[in-house]
Amino acid sequence: MAFVVFLGSEPRSLRKSISLREGVFMYVGSVLGSGILVAPAIAANIAGPSSLVAWILLSLLSYPIEYTFGALASTYPDAGGLLGVERGSFFHAPM
């Protein structure tokens, strides 16, 4: 389903893709969110300087999950996200 935007007299539709830069910023915004402002202070207060090592390890260990979701999104370009992949895998519904 495409949304149509009327600018002047000729209708234009919105593009159905995002650039790499937009995707990276959306991912960072959804993963970090507002917790990025509070969680490091709490972790540093409890664990001290080793909390920085924990954050770096967490960033590195999240890469396989990021890669998996990227591969699924490119293989099954469905607006349903993970639900669309599950629906096609388990219920054999058309995607």
Query: pLDDT category, 66, cuts 50, 70, 90?
Result: confident
| DSSP codes, 57-83 | HHHHHTHHHHHHHHHHHHHS--TTTHH
Indicate the residue type of 84: G
- At 2-57, the pLDDT tens digits run 555 555 666 667 777 888 888 888 888 777 776 767 777 888 888 888 888 888 89
**Which two structure tokens, joined as six digits, stand for 19?**
């650039």
Helix (H, G, I), strand (E, B) or coil at 6: strand
- Partnered with residue 83 across adjacent β-strands are none
With tokens 């402002």, the residue in question is 37
pTM: 0.43
Q: How far is CA 91 from CA 32, 74, 77, 87, in A?
A: 33, 20, 17, 5
Vertex 19, ends 86 and 15: CA angle to 5°? 80
**Which two structure tokens, joined as six digits, stand for 7?**
């600018």
